[in-house]
Amino acid sequence: MSDKHYIVECHSLMRIMATAAVGLELEPGDMVVLRFKGCEDIGVVKSRSDDAQPKAIAIRKVNADDIRMLEETKPWEAQAIEKFKNLVKEYSLPMRVVDVHAWADRQKIAFYFLSEHRLDFRKLHKETSLLLDCRVVIKQIGIRDHARLVGGLGHCGRPLCCTAFLSELKPISLRSARRQNLYVNPEKISGMCGRLLCCLRYEEDAGCRLDFSHHDYKEYEEVADIFNEEEEWEMLKGSRDSDD
């Protein structure tokens, strides 16, 4: 294995830290074959990673045979989720099945569901494994994960951060908004998932350094934002009065 690590997305709810096989050069957007836990799957390289403990190995870029295998897996995947939904009805479980992901080699399959309750689905898991003859993962997801799965546009008019580039959905507290003096309508600082906007974290560290609530004066400067668009921003001078 090499020391080059990457974030690879096999599914919108499954991003894996992987290391490249020796001699394999990868760039964001490359489709690769991953090997992990005895299974093989196909994913897209999203970015480089500094993770020192990758969970998978990117063994090669995809070839024609790999693409054919992936295409053949899709009909099987569609049949699998219908069988799974039928079993859910049979066991009368209060769960809403929202998506499925089958590994390219069909050795493993994951079902994702929403529910307001903690469920005991051990019998469902056993029955599904026997029916599909493969390893089965049944995963309950939260409302933020579901928003990532569905996608959409945020208040800013751009694709949701969770869908576009965030590899991890970190917790966000109302304190983040308060530290930035964002005492506004809750709807303005909540995403389509109904939770606080992920982007509230982006300014929090800077807010701690500048101390948004104690500043002497303000200065307006013309700066370029991350999308290279010229906008007028309110720049805060991070000093404050002290009794020392």
The CATH number that applies at residue 125 is 3.30.300
Co-location of 186 and 224 in the same domain: yes
- Predicted local confidence at residue 234, as pLDDT: 45
Name the DSSP letter for residue 196. Answer: B
Co-location of 134 and 73 in the same domain: yes
Residue 151 resides in a domain? no
Threshold 0.75, pTM exceeds: no
Residue 154 resides in a domain? no
Co-location of 196 and 166 in the same domain: yes
- Predicted local confidence at residue 228, as pLDDT: 45
Residue 21 resides in a domain? yes
Tokens of 228: 């290279």
Residue 155 resides in a domain? no
Nearest residue to 180 via CA among 221, 144, 215: 215
State which of 113, 141, 169 marks the end of a domain.
141
Any long-range contacts for 113-118 (C-beta under 8 Å, 24+ apart)?
113/88, 113/138, 113/139, 113/140, 113/141, 114/140, 114/141, 114/143, 114/146, 115/140
Residue 146 resides in a domain? no
User: Which structural domain, as residue segments, surrounds residue 133?
Assistant: 67-141
Name the DSSP letter for residue 174. Answer: H
Residue 242 resides in a domain? no
Residue 19 resides in a domain? yes
- Predicted local confidence at residue 242, as pLDDT: 39
Co-location of 29 and 76 in the same domain: no
Q: How far apart are CA 127 and CA 131, in angstroms?
A: 6
- Predicted local confidence at residue 163, as pLDDT: 65
Predicted confidence pLDDT, tens digits, the chain (244 residues): 567 888 898 888 888 888 888 888 899 999 999 998 889 999 999 888 876 678 899 999 999 999 999 999 999 999 999 999 999 999 999 999 989 999 999 999 999 998 888 888 899 999 999 999 999 999 988 777 766 666 677 777 777 776 666 666 677 767 766 666 666 667 777 776 767 777 777 766 655 554 544 444 344 444 444 444 444 444 444 434 434 4
Co-location of 71 and 102 in the same domain: yes
State which of 17, 36, 62 marks the end of a domain.
62
Co-location of 39 and 86 in the same domain: no
Q: How far apart are CA 57 and CA 39, in angstroms?
A: 11
Co-location of 77 and 49 in the same domain: no
Beta-bridged to residue 80, according to DSSP, are none
State which of 39, 62, 85 marks the end of a domain.
62
Residue 52 resides in a domain? yes
Co-location of 31 and 71 in the same domain: no
Sheet strands side by side (includes 108-114): 96-102, 108-114, 135-140
Sequence-distant (6+) residues with CB within 8 A of 242 are: none
Nearest residue to 102 via CA among 60, 125, 72, 67: 72
Sign (positive/negative) of CA torsion 208, 213, 218, 224?
Answer: positive
Q: How many independent structural domains does the chain possess?
A: 3
Tokens of 14: 């499954």
